[in-house]
Amino acid sequence: MRPRRFLPTGPLKGRIRVPGDKSISHRSIMLGALAVGETKVTGLLEGEDVLSTAAAMRAMGATVTRTGEGAWTVNGVGVGALLQPEAPLDMGNSGTSTRLLMGLVASHPITATFIGDGSLSKRPMGRVIDPLSEMGASFEASEGGRLPLILKGASPAVPIRYRLPMASAQVKSAILLAGLNTPGITTVIEPVPTRDHSERMLRGFGADLTVETDADGARVISIRGEAELEPQTIEVPGDPSSAAFFIVAALVIPGSEVLIENVGLNPTRAGIVEVLRQMGGSIEEVNPREVGGEPVADLLVRHSALKGIDVDPAIVPAMVDEFPVLFVAAALAEGVTTTTGLEELRVKESDRISVMATALAAAGATVRETEDGLIITGTGGEPLVGTNGTIATHLDHRIAMSMAVAGLASRAGVEVDDVRPIATSFPVFETMLEGLTA
Ligand code: S3P
Residues 16 and 32 occupy one common structural domain: no
Q: Using one digit for the tens of pLDDT, what is the confidence trace for 226-238?
A: 999 999 999 999 9
User: Per the annotation, does 282 bind a ligand?
Assistant: no
CB atoms within 10 A of CB 238: 26
Per-residue pLDDT tens for 366-402? Answer: 999 999 999 999 999 999 999 999 999 999 999 999 9
Q: How many structural domains compose the chain?
A: 2
Asked which of 184, 204, 235 is the last residue of a domain, the reply is 235
Its pTM stands at 0.98
DSSP label at residue 26: H
CATH code of the domain in which 157 resides: 3.65.10.10
Do residue 109 and residue 219 come from a single domain? yes
Q: Cβ distance 373 to 339 under 8 Å?
A: yes
Strands (E), 94-215: 111-115, 138-142, 146-152, 161-163, 185-190, 209-213
Q: What proportion of the chain, given as a percentage, has pLDDT over 70?
A: 100
Last residue of a domain, one of 184, 205, 235: 235
Are 278 and 300 in the same domain?
Answer: yes
Residues 14 and 92 in one domain: no
Q: Are residues 39 and 74 in the same domain?
A: yes
Is 239 part of the annotated catalytic residue set? no
- Domain of 27 in residue numbering reads as 22-224+231-235
State pLDDT tens for residues 273-314: 999 999 999 999 999 999 988 999 999 999 999 999 999 999
Shared domain check, 246 and 213: no
Question: Measured from the CB, is residue 170 less than 6 Å from ligand 1?
Answer: yes
Q: Which atom of ligand 1 is nearest to the CA of 167?
A: 16
Between the alpha carbon of residue 404 and those of residues 277, 307, 422, the distances in Å are: 22, 21, 11
For ligand 1, atom 10: residue with the closest CA: 321
- Same domain, residue pair 208 and 242: no
Best probe residue, ligand 1, of 23, 396, 426 (max atoms within 8 Å of C-beta): 23
Residue 398 assigned to a binding site: yes
Per-chain mean pLDDT for the chain = 98
Strand order in the sheet with 63-68: 63-68, 71-77, 36-42, 233-235
| Residue 97 sits in the same domain as residue 8 | no
Which residue, 178, 201, 235, sits at the end of a domain?
235
The answer on 71 and 210 residing in a single domain is yes
* Domain co-membership, 207 together with 245: no
Tell which one of 48, 53, 192, 195 to mutate to probe ligand 1, the residue whose CB is within 8 A of the most ligand atoms. Answer: 195
DSSP 349: S
Do 280 and 214 lie in one domain? The reply is no
Query: Does one domain contain both 103 and 185?
Result: yes
Is 127 annotated to bind a ligand? Reply is no
